[in-house]
Amino acid sequence: MRKIIIIDDEPLARSIVKEYLQKHKDFEVVQECNDGFEGVKAIQQHQPDLIFLDIQMPKINGFEMLELIEQPPAVIFATAFDEYAIKAFEAHAIDYLLKPFNQERLDKAIQKWSDANNKPNEKNTQDLLETASQSPAQSQRIVVKSGSKIKIIPVHDVLYLEAADDYVKIHTKEGYFLKNKTMSHFEQVLDPQQFVRSHRSYIVNVQQITRIDPYEKDNHVAVLKAGTQIPVSRSGYVKLREVLGL
Interface ranges with another protein (CB under 8 A): 9-13, 15-16, 19, 34-35, 37, 56-59, 61, 80-82, 98-100, 102, 135-137, 140-141, 152, 154-155
Task: Specify the residue, 149 or 211, whose C-beta has the smaller distance to another protein.
Answer: 149
Phi, psi of 205, rounded to the nearest 5 degrees: -80, 110
The least CB distance from residue 155 to another protein, in Å, is 8
Taking the least distance from each CB to another protein, the nearer of 156 and 200 is 156
Q: Which amino acid is at 157?
A: D
Cβ 57 to another protein shortest distance, Å: 7
CB of 43 to another protein, least distance (A): 17
Judged by beta carbon, residue 135 or residue 233, the one nearer another protein is: 135
* Minimum gap (Å) between residue 98 Cβ and another protein: 8
Q: Across-strand partners of 202?
A: 162, 199
The three-state (H, E, C) secondary structure of 163-207, written as one string? EECCEEEEEECCEEEEECCCHHHHHHHCCCCCEEEEECCEEEEHH
Work out how close the CB of 146 gets to another protein at its nearest, in angstroms, rounded to a whole number: 14
End-to-end CA distance of the chain: 64
Q: Which is nearer to another protein, 2 or 141 (CB)?
A: 141
Cβ atoms of residues 10 and 57 within 8 Å: no
Residue with smaller CB distance to another protein, 59 or 234: 59
What distance in Å separates the CA atoms of residue 72 and residue 80, rounded to the nearest whole number? 22
Backbone angles phi, psi at 118, to 5 degrees: 60, 15
